[in-house]
Amino acid sequence: MKKLSILGSTGSIGTQTLDIVRNNPNEFKVIGLTVNSNIELLKKQINEFKPEAVAVMDEEKADLLKKEVDVSVYSGIDGIIKVAKLDETDTVVNSLVGSVGVRPTIEAIRTKKNIALANKETLVTAGSVVMEEVKKNNVNLMPIDSEHSAIFQCINGEKIGDVSGIVITASGGPFREYSKEQLENVTANDALKHPTWAMGNKITIDSATLMNKGFEVMEAHWLYGVGYENIEVVVHPQSIIHSLVEFKDNSVIAQLGNPDMKLPIQYALSFPKRFEMNTKRLNLVEAGNLSFEEPDFDRFPCLKYAYDAGKVRGSIGAVLNAANEIAVNAFLDDKIKFLDISKIIKKMMDSHNLIKNPDLNQILDVDEKIKEETTKIIENKQF
């Protein structure tokens, strides 16, 4: 039985993870849960799954919760880290949103916890530090992501040295067929209408800008050690093929499935086993024709900026992520336009003084500084 701490238990990935726990009671036990502020749903989760401890990022909400439940309640980022490091926990599911996920991941790894990672920002911001800690502490880092789960399944049992390339598929998002002129006036509500996936707000906007795909390119580099010149993105609107791996003999292996996040979540938790899942089976006839297109870097420059950041390395990944995080929130709050997101990111990347080999503290400092600076340029309309 795997013993889990789930960081972000009331979000999209967190609630689906608990569905999997609910359906496999002999395989998983919940030890810890964390939320940002949704204590009403957390109370229901506490009653059902009976964790040892929980944490609430919002300290006022944490104080309210302490009066209503008979379980240890921690607060703030330190509380989240405590739950990630609980003695009985052997696997930490990190489904936090944003760079707040970096420290809990690293602290959990340092206490020999295996990681099931849905928080893309962890590797984008601090990939070199995270992977060094994974190696040093001899733990497993399993991706909770349809594309990286697909890649992992394709290379399982193969020699990584035989891999010549990775192809990551992208749905293209809700604006795949929009012209640049049309993109000028799209709203947050437009961007949140993803054609194939149901996800949280932030990742859905990242999918609309293709930044999400850029993050996945950077993650693939860190997870599988493949050079950026050998990681390709193709637009595949049907979201049936989740990624492909090409080998040195030119053979290509792909992983297919209906667009359902429960599969990669369950695979990350059950590996090396596979459990049955009560979801719709893939019917290729119903799926119809599968099509592929090249991504348009002009209409969706965030993807290019992610490639650029990955190749430069150092602290620039933290800049890319922090600027994007603030810009996306501003777009969701109707403070900027859709195309402003990429303009703001480029401005922050261009003005950054690169740190070539940053340690964790330097990365976190850059993250904080860039968020402050990005907030200011948005307030002052200086982009």
For the record, the structure tokens of 11 come out as 């979000």
- In whole angstroms, give the CA distance from residue 316 to residue 9: 30
Greatest Cα-to-Cα distance within the chain, rounded to the nearest angstrom: 63
Residue 381 burial (10 A CB sphere; 0-12, 13-18, 19+): exposed
* Residues 190 and 223 reside in one and the same domain: yes
Which pLDDT belongs to residue 206? Answer: 93
| 76 and 220 co-located in one domain | no
Q: How far apart are CA 143 and CA 145, in angstroms?
A: 6
Are 167 and 89 part of one and the same domain? Answer: no
Q: Are residues 137 and 171 in the same domain?
A: no
Please name the amino acid found at residue 326.
Answer: I
pTM, rounded to two decimals: 0.93
Q: Is residue 88 part of a domain?
A: yes
Q: List the pLDDT tens digit at each of the 383 positions of the chain.
A: 999 999 999 999 999 999 999 999 999 999 999 999 999 999 999 999 999 999 999 999 999 999 999 999 999 999 999 999 999 999 999 999 889 999 999 999 999 999 999 999 999 999 999 999 999 999 999 999 899 999 999 999 999 999 999 999 999 989 999 999 999 999 999 988 877 766 778 889 999 999 999 999 999 999 999 999 999 999 999 999 999 999 999 999 999 999 899 999 999 999 999 999 988 899 999 988 999 999 999 999 999 999 999 999 999 999 999 999 999 999 999 999 999 999 999 999 999 999 999 999 999 999 999 999 999 999 998 88
Task: Check whether residue 191 and residue 75 sit in a common domain.
Answer: no
CATH of the domain at 94: 3.40.50.720
Domain of residue 174 covers 157-254+291-313
- Residues contacting residue 178 through CB under 8 Å, at least 6 positions apart: 186, 299
> Where do we find the tokens 């799954």?
49
> Is residue 265 within 8 Å of 23, Cβ to Cβ?
no
Q: State residue 198's pLDDT score.
A: 66
Tell me how many domains the chain contains.
2
Please indicate, yes or no, whether residues 118 and 250 belong to a single structural domain of this protein: no
Distance (Å, rounded) from C-alpha 41 to C-alpha 46?
Answer: 9
Query: What pLDDT shows up at residue 203?
Result: 86
DSSP 3-state assignment of 32? strand
Phi/psi for 358 (5° steps) reads -75, 145
Same domain, 231 and 202: yes
Last residue of a domain, one of 110, 143, 176: 143
What is the distance between the alpha carbons of residues 53 and 62, in angstroms, rounded to a whole number?
12
Same-domain check for residues 298 and 203 = yes
Q: HSE-up of 266 (CA within 13 Å, CB side)?
A: 19
* 370 in any annotated domain: no
Indicate the DSSP class of residue 293.
B
In a domain, 42, yes or no: yes
Which pLDDT belongs to residue 67?
94
Residue 300 lies in a domain: yes
- pLDDT of res. 199: 72
Asked if the structure places residue 347 within a domain, the reply is: no
pLDDT of residue 383: 85
Give residues with Cβ within 8 angstroms of 373, minimum separation 6: 348
The answer to the question of residue 268 being in a domain is: no
Examine the domain organization and report whether 80 and 202 are in the same domain. no
Residue 188 lies in a domain: yes
Single-letter residue type at 356? K
Same domain, 133 and 26: yes
The reply to whether 23 and 171 lie within a common domain is no
Q: Report yes or no on 274 lying in a domain.
A: no
Mark which of 78, 113, 143 sits at the end of a domain.
143
Nearest to 148 by CA among 308, 267, 19, 292: 267
Q: Do 94 and 119 lie in a common domain?
A: yes
